[in-house]
Amino acid sequence: MIDGDGLAYQMIFSHADEAIDEYWTKLGGQPVWLEEPHWPLCWRHERLMGFIGQFRLPGRQIRMAYLFVDNESEESWNPEGGENALIVQPGRIPPLVQAS
């Protein structure tokens, strides 16, 4: 992938022997927050969503996207159903996303 600055990016997956505590793209584990933690709640069930992964976004500035889904819901696929959330830091939290 090439971004607007002409920089090329490639994603390679590998097994980590230790917990990742830096701003890297990863699936599973615990999020490494760039700013204050903002763990979203499922609208319907008012419970914490499950953390799927974090993704470092392209560009010179460090920016992270954190993906969450309600693991116990059959409606988590619906982008406007309130049972999934993508939090981007730095950035503002969308008004639809409630957090604990």
pLDDT (mean) for 43-60: 88
Each residue of 16-37: pLDDT tens digit?
A: 777 777 888 999 999 999 999 9
What stretches of 2-93 adopt beta strand conformation (E)? 26-27, 50-56, 64-69, 84-89
| Mean pLDDT (the chain, rounded) | 82
- State how far the alpha carbon of 5 is from the alpha carbons of 9, 17, 22, 63, 73, in Å: 11, 33, 24, 15, 39
For residues 51 and 58, give the distance between their C-alpha atoms in angstroms, rounded to a whole number: 21
Q: What's the CA gap between 42 and 58, in Å, rounded? A: 28
- Give the pLDDT of residue 29: 92
Instruction: Say what percent of the chain tops pLDDT 70.
Output: 79
- Residues 19 and 28: their CA atoms lie apart, in Å, by 10
